[in-house]
């Protein structure tokens, strides 16, 4: 994805929408055979109602191992060589890290109703996740952003539009939160607006170690100097929700799902894309090289790519679905929250994470460790 809009993400390709509604049941054998399915997936992506509906329809028991980071996915898959898991859920921009691991196998695309997915996301697997020209090793499952969430009863951004700089501001010191690696990147985007960094330097840092080091040196020094302002360093959805619910945090850099789930529940919480642009990602489905329950995998994909269950799920967890027509089943609250999270030209201003080379991830870890241990 080089650019994202409400149209291309949720309502593009009307022909695809018609096709998805008419997609044949390609997994009839799996639907009658039941069995089990072992999924290594982000902690809040599988609401109980979604899991129950899947089991009720297919007879397949879903075993969910919850994780909170891409690093955890890689670690668990490496530790077992992929054995014990049928499906993992890496993020789209981690393709360069997975290409040489040998932990995944390609999808049989004759069994995937890919026509029911927004084309801009459906083609990711056939392009950057087509390892060894053996076919797609990744399918889109959910997409979302990282931006700014806040307690509406304790704080409000100036002019209604937050900034990554708000996380580090004196007025909210001791009451903010973020995930170290991405809040430091967000700080870098903010520093581009203040003159500490040149416009575009955060993204050119992905090109080489020589370009990355001076940029992240400045970011790290700036963040360390302001680290006392940070109340919480989070690493999963549960920690984000708890901090906002308890009132320990009044503003934070978060994923969109956790605060929007709280907002759906009537809590005084708001989420919005910051003026520097929200960070956009797509989390996917990948088949483990050690997968045992192959028919069950395709039964899950068929169910997940059906608009109604996909829409019911995003209504609960607050993220967004690549399935064409899913938003029609997500309810009026989802539509309202989406509009408030991405007002004006916010969708056109999204920052899509570039593909992350292994050297970049390793070097970033050095800078993040310097910050967290300071």
CATH number of the CATH domain containing 226: 3.40.190.10
Residue 359 and residue 217 in one domain: yes
Identify the segments of the chain with pLDDT beneath 70. Answer: 1-33
Instruction: Note the pLDDT of residue 145.
Output: 96
Instruction: Note the pLDDT of residue 114.
Output: 97
Closest CA to 285 of 145, 113, 147, 133: 113
pTM attached to this predicted model: 0.85
Instruction: Note the pLDDT of residue 34.
Output: 78
Residue 236 and residue 302 in one domain: no
Answer whether residue 201 is part of any domain.
yes
Q: Are 151 and 269 in contact (CB under 8 A)?
A: yes
Instruction: Note the pLDDT of residue 337.
Output: 93
What tokens does 248 get?
Answer: 């320990």
Instruction: Note the pLDDT of residue 370.
Output: 98
Residue 360 and residue 227 in one domain: yes
User: What interhelical angle do 48-58 and 307-317 show, nearest 10?
Assistant: 160
Instruction: Note the pLDDT of residue 197.
Output: 98
Q: Are 120 and 9 in contact (CB under 8 A)?
A: yes
Strand partners, 232: 177
Residue 286 and residue 273 in one domain: no
The number of folded domains in the chain is 2
Q: Using DSSP bridges, classify how beta strands 279-288 and 230-233 pair: parallel, antiparallel or unpaired.
A: unpaired
Instruction: Note the pLDDT of residue 165.
Output: 97
Residue 11 and residue 157 in one domain: no
Residue 181 and residue 270 in one domain: yes
Neighbours of 286 (CB within 10 A): 28
Q: Are 286 and 89 in contact (CB under 8 A)?
A: yes
Task: List helix spans (H) across 158-236.
Answer: 180-194, 201-204, 209-225
What tokens does 268 get?
Answer: 């005084």
Instruction: Note the pLDDT of residue 2.
Output: 36
DSSP state string for 155-168: ---GGG---GGGGG
Structural domain harbouring 132: 6-143+281-345
Instruction: Note the pLDDT of residue 247.
Output: 84
What tokens does 317 get?
Answer: 């967890």
């Amino acid at each position: 994805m080089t650019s994202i809009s409400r149209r291309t993400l949720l309502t593009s390709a009307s022909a695809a929408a018609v096709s998805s509604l008419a997609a044949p049941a390609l997994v009839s054998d799996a639907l009658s055979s039941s069995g089990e399915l072992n999924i290594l997936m982000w902690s809040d992506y599988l609401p109980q109602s979604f899991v129950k509906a899947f089991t009720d329809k297919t007879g397949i028991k879903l075993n969910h191992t919850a994780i909170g980071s891409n690093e955890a996915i890689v670690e668990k898959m490496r530790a077992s060589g992929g054995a014990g898991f049928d499906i993992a859920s890496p993020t789209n921009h981690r393709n360069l890290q997975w290409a040489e691991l040998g932990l995944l196998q390609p999808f049989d695309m004759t069994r995937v109703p890919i026509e029911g997915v927004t084309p801009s996301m459906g083609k990711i697997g056939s392009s950057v996740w087509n390892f060894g020209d053996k076919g797609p090793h990744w399918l889109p499952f959910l997409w979302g952003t990282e931006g700014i969430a806040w307690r509406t009863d304790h704080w409000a951004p100036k002019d209604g539009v937050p900034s990554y700089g708000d996380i580090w501001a004196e007025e909210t010191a001791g009451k903010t939160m973020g995930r170290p690696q991405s809040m430091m990147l967000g700080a870098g985007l903010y520093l581009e607006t203040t003159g500490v960094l040149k416009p575009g330097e955060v993204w050119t840092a992905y090109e080489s170690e020589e370009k990355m080091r001076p940029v992240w040196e400045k970011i790290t020094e700036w963040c360390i100097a302001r680290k006392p302002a940070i109340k919480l360093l989070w690493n999963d959805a549960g920690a984000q929700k708890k901090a906002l619910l308890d009132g320990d945090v009044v503003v934070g850099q978060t994923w969109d799902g956790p605060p929007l789930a709280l907002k759906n529940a009537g809590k005084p919480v708001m989420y919005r894309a910051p003026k520097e642009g929200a960070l956009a990602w797509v989390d996917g489905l990948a088949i483990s090289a050690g997968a045992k329950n192959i028919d069950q995998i395709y039964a899950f994909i068929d169910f997940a790519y059906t608009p109604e269950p996909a829409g019911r799920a995003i209504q609960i967890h607050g993220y967004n679905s690549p399935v064409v027509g899913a938003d029609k089943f997500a309810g009026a609250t989802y539509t309202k929250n989406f509009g408030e999270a991405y007002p004006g030209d916010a969708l056109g201003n999204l920052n899509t994470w570039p593909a992350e080379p292994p050297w970049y991830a390793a070097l970033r870890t050095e800078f993040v460790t310097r910050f967290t241990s300071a």
